[in-house]
């Protein structure tokens, strides 16, 4: 829902974090009319032609209900899953990596304990999808997909934005080499 709301917030494309995850040519295209086809479809089909400025508050109400549900689930000890690292909408919001970090920060802001956030980001999905024998924790024989952080995520949620290395399938990659603007650095 956040990514849908962000389609209607003009400042979304000015977020400096986007420059790290989206190539400049794509950011430029996002500012063109063809890039907003999905947004126009939403206005027409789901919001009865409402003006853009009236839509974010409506989506905010839905987001608020989801946040209340998340707080309840966390407070009652339910396992949480991390679910934002995919393009939820065909538009300029919700980019893999950045959207995941934003979800982690939001979870912390809503009072989800850091240990529960860590479990949501690691073992819980693997267990719920029956993949814990291959993913979700560091053990001999499991696929090495890791983020090596410069801070402890059990002490601060901002640790998830202090990535030093990404290990994917056992291959270590420096975080900066994955940035959209890497070749310009």
Q: Average per-residue pLDDT in the chain?
A: 91
Counted residue by residue, the chain has a size of 185
pTM of the model: 0.87
Query: Is 60 exceeded by the pLDDT of residue 76?
Result: yes
For the purposes of burial, counting CB atoms within 10 Å of the CB of 85, is it exposed (0-12), middle (13-18) or buried (19 or more)?
middle
**Whole-angstrom Cα distance, residue 53 to residue 2?**
15
pLDDT at 89 over 80: no
Percent of the chain that is helix, strand, coil (3-state, to 5): 50, 10, 40
| Better pLDDT: 53 or 10 | 53
Please tell me the predicted confidence (pLDDT) of residue 86: 64
- Confidence class of residue 84 from pLDDT cuts 50, 70 and 90? low
CB of 20 closer than 8 Å to CB of 180: yes
Question: What pLDDT sits at residue 91?
Answer: 77
- 20-73 confidence digits (pLDDT tens): 888 999 999 999 999 999 999 999 999 999 999 999 999 999 999 999 999 999
pLDDT of residue 1: 81
**Percent of the chain at pLDDT exceeding 90:** 74
Q: In whole angstroms, how far apart are CA 127 and each of 99, 106, 122, 144?
A: 22, 23, 9, 16
* Banded pLDDT at 170 (limits 50, 70, 90): very high
Rg of the chain over CA atoms, in angstroms? 18
pLDDT, tens only, 101-129: 989 999 999 999 999 999 999 999 999 99
Residue 160 in this model has a pLDDT that exceeds 70:
yes
| C-beta pairs of 10-15 under 8 Å, 24+ apart in sequence | 12/92, 12/93, 13/92
Please report, for the chain, the start and end positions of each structural domain, with discontinuous segments joined by +: 2-134
Confidence class of residue 180 from pLDDT cuts 50, 70 and 90? confident
pLDDT of residue 85 exceeding 60 = no
Dihedral sign, Cα of residue 128, residue 6, residue 118, residue 136? positive
**First CA to last CA distance, the chain:** 33
* Residue range 75-85: mean pLDDT, rounded: 87
Closest CA to 119 of 132, 136, 131: 136
Structure confidence at residue 174 (pLDDT): 94
């Amino acid at each position: 829902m956040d990514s849908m709301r962000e389609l209607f917030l003009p400042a979304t494309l000015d977020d400096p974090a986007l420059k790290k995850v989206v190539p400049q040519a794509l950011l430029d295209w996002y500012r063109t009319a063809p890039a907003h086809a999905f947004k126009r479809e939403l206005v027409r089909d789901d919001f009865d032609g409402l003006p853009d400025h009236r839509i974010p508050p409506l989506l905010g109400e839905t987001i608020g209900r989801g946040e209340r549900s998340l707080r309840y689930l966390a407070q009652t000890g339910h396992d949480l899953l991390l679910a934002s690292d995919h393009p939820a909408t065909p538009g300029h919001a919700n980019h893999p990596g950045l959207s995941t970090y934003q979800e982690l920060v939001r979870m912390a802001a809503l009072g989800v304990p850091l240990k529960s956030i860590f479990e949501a980001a690691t073992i819980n999905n693997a267990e719920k999808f029956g993949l814990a024998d291959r993913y979700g924790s560091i053990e001999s024989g499991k696929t090495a997909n890791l983020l090596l952080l410069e801070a402890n995520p059990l002490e601060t949620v901002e640790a998830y934005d202090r990535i030093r290395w990404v290990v994917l399938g056992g291959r270590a990659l420096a975080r900066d080499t994955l940035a959209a603007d890497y070749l310009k650095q």
